[in-house]
């Protein structure tokens, strides 16, 4: 059977990862959350006192990048690969609002992007991969057979993220999450290196009012059409 690469890009909290996992499981493909890799480096910087809301020791982080080994290990029970930093599972540690508030700053560093894009390209070398992020269809896999660009209103995305964080036990306000979503939108879209933009050949999907099942079926149909061609 023909194997393809599926690139899913879009703004934060558009449900990219949820849909990507479902598509990958249905097709028997590898799923990779590229955003988790940037969160892992951000977590590394935080643990080593290199970044906070008050400061960012950019040059030291760059020099320490060789000591931040990011990898994935497939979890059979969950059905997807979890992210590891120096052989330590940090899947839960990187999903906090604190990390969310700093990840766009770290992700804007060209040296960080170069290191992680190299890993991402290697993972997708043999196709049969679904990867989501900000620059998958434009930088990582510009030749991907299927490119999706997901978006939704900032209010809708903030509410989704707020509910997710509350369910995980975080003590946060909707206003703080909404501010974070707006801030990340601006930083991701205006950074000099690989900004968040829609690839010319990407299919745009606004899921402000669409269910997960509707999105899943729509994208799976697109993928199967390409595979069968």
Task: Give, as one character, the DSSP assignment of residue 88.
Answer: E
pLDDT tens readout for residues 49-82: 999 999 999 999 999 999 999 998 888 777 778 8
pLDDT value of position 76: 79
Could you give the CA distance from residue 110 to residue 220 in angstroms, rounded to a whole number?
33
Buried b (16+ CB within 10 A) or exposed e, 120-146: beebbeeebbbbbbbbbbbbbbeebbb
Confidence of residue 168 (pLDDT cuts 50, 70, 90): confident
35 marked among binding-site residues: no
153 marked among binding-site residues: no
Inter-residue contact 24 to 33 (CB < 8 Å): no
Expressed as residue numbers, the domain containing 130 is 5-228
Position 30 pLDDT exceeds 80: yes
156 marked among binding-site residues: no
Could you give the CA distance from residue 178 to residue 122 in angstroms, rounded to a whole number?
35
Position 130 pLDDT exceeds 80: yes
Helix 154-167 to helix 174-190 angle (10° resolution) is: 120
Give the pLDDT mean for 17-29: 94
15 marked among binding-site residues: yes
28 marked among binding-site residues: no
* Domains held by the chain: number: 1
Give the pLDDT mean for 115-139: 94
CATH number at residue 40: 3.40.50.300
pLDDT value of position 60: 98
Confidence of residue 148 (pLDDT cuts 50, 70, 90): very high
44 marked among binding-site residues: no
pLDDT tens readout for residues 170-218: 899 999 999 999 998 998 999 989 999 999 999 999 999 999 999 999 9
14 marked among binding-site residues: yes
Position 29 pLDDT exceeds 90: yes
| β-pair type (70-75, 80-85) | antiparallel
pLDDT value of position 73: 87
pLDDT value of position 111: 97
Of the chain, the percentage scoring pLDDT greater than 90 comes to 87
Total residue length of the chain: 229
Position 133 pLDDT exceeds 90: yes
pLDDT value of position 182: 95
Could you give the CA distance from residue 55 to residue 178 in angstroms, rounded to a whole number?
22
Inter-residue contact 219 to 148 (CB < 8 Å): yes
């Amino acid at each position: 059977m023909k194997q393809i690469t599926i690139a899913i890009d879009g703004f934060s909290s558009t449900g990219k990862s949820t849909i990507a996992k479902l598509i990958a499981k249905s097709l028997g493909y590898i799923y990779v959350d590229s955003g988790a890799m940037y969160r892992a480096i951000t977590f590394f910087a935080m643990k080593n006192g290199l970044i906070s809301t008050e400061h960012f020791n950019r040059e030291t982080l760059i020099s320490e990048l060789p000591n931040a080994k990011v990898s994935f290990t497939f979890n059979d029970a969950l059905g997807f690969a979890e992210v590891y930093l120096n052989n330590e599972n940090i899947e839960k540690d990187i999903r906090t609002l604190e990390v969310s508030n700093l990840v766009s700053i770290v992700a804007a560093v060209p040296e960080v992007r170069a290191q992680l894009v190299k890993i991402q390209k290697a993972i997708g070398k043999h196709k049969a991969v679904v990867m989501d992020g900000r620059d998958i269809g434009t930088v990582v896999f510009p030749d991907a057979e299927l490119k999706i660009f997901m978006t939704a209103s900032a209010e809708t995305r903030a509410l989704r993220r707020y509910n997710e964080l509350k369910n995980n036990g975080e003590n946060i306000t909707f206003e703080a999450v909404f501010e974070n979503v707006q801030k990340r939108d601006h930083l991701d879209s205006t950074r000099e290196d690989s900004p968040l933009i829609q690839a010319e050949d990407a299919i745009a999907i606004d899921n402000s009012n669409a269910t997960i099942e509707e999105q899943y079926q729509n994208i799976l149909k697109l993928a199967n059409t390409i595979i069968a061609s």
